[in-house]
Amino acid sequence: MITKTKGKTKKIDVITPTIQDDEFTPEEDQQQVKNGLPWQAYAIVGDKADPLTWKLPHHTRQVYRAVKGKIGYEHTVDWENMTQMVAFLSLQGIEGRRVQADESQIVGAARHLASHYQKAGKPLPDALAVLV
């Protein structure tokens, strides 16, 4: 790009931002998303094509890199919110509200979340231990 300033011509390089090979956006894959996350970020997925059936998000947006095989899923676990997801599975729930799912989905989600704790070398919360 060439600009003129006070009669002088100056060449300016224009840098166009590009998506890095290891970056991923939902638009690239054309898959459904819920709250900015693909179905792989949820512990309960009733139907991959219906985001209304996805429950208990427990991965960060880095999960898109895992979907592409750039990093392992274990590196994308959202540990800050994991306690809340475990609580929603428990019999007490959060403020008396438990995730709306059938018992097999709850047990499956509990096993899935438990595997994240085990792979990370973290102790299993009591609320999760009673479900698996």
Model pLDDT for residues 41-86, shown as the tens digit of each residue: 999 999 999 999 999 999 999 999 999 999 999 999 999 999 999 9
Over residues 18-30, the pLDDT tens digits come to 333 344 444 445 5
What confidence tier does 113 reach under pLDDT thresholds 50, 70, 90?
very high
| Better pLDDT: 14 or 125 | 125
Average pLDDT, the chain: 83
In percent, how much of the chain has pLDDT > 90?
A: 73
Strand 2-5 versus strand 8-11 pairing type: antiparallel
| Rounded distance between C-alpha atoms, residue 68 and residue 76, angstroms | 13
Strand 42-45 versus strand 8-11 pairing type: unpaired
